[in-house]
Amino acid sequence: MRREEADGNSSLSQPRCEIEKIPLEGECERPGEVRYKGMFLVCGPHAVLLELEDRAQAVLGSVFLMDEWLEENGSSGAGEEYLGRIRHEREEAVAALRVVRVQIRSTRKEIMATAAAPSRTRKATDG
């Protein structure tokens, strides 16, 4: 028996990532390491992905609110300087959203690449 198994620290005794409990996500074989919103135990890579998705939602919500405000107040004689600031803030938020979306795509690719790697390794060691 290996020492990790004797100590109870084997990968079998550690809870798995619970990403499948979150809508639109699949199953994950990695060990759960991080609590997401205090409810789900997820692996590190999925925790990063979920944090990025939360950030994207928050920024998108801000852009939406700025768009609404500009629609309602853009022609009402609000100070041109103030309108310019709001438009500038909106442009910065949209740029930040683009960056976060690139990070999300990159993180998803990493997760998919590492998810495929253990199954290939397991098959090689099983045979």
**The pLDDT of residue 24:** 53
3: pLDDT strictly greater than 70:
no
**The pLDDT of residue 116:** 67
Buried-state track 17-55, b at ≥16 Cβ within 10 A, e below 16: bbbeebeebeebebebebebeeebbbbebbbbbbebbeb
Tally of structural domains, the chain: 1
Q: What digits encode the pLDDT tens for the residues 30-84?
A: 888 888 888 888 889 999 999 999 999 999 999 999 999 988 887 666 688 888 9
Span 77-102, average pLDDT: 92
Residue 56 makes CB contacts below 8 A (sequence gap 6+) with 97, 100, 101, 104
Q: Is residue 127 part of a domain?
A: no
The runs of H, that is alpha helices, within the chain are 3-6, 44-73, 80-126
Domain that holds residue 109: 3-116
Q: Is residue 112 part of a domain?
A: yes
Q: Is residue 38 part of a domain?
A: yes
Q: Is residue 124 part of a domain?
A: no
pTM reported for the whole predicted model:
0.71
**The pLDDT of residue 12:** 53
Q: Is residue 23 part of a domain?
A: yes
26: pLDDT strictly greater than 70:
no
Q: Is residue 17 part of a domain?
A: yes
Is the model more confident about 21 or about 109? 109
Q: Is residue 126 part of a domain?
A: no
Q: What digits encode the pLDDT tens for the residues 114-123?
A: 776 655 444 4
Q: Is residue 47 part of a domain?
A: yes
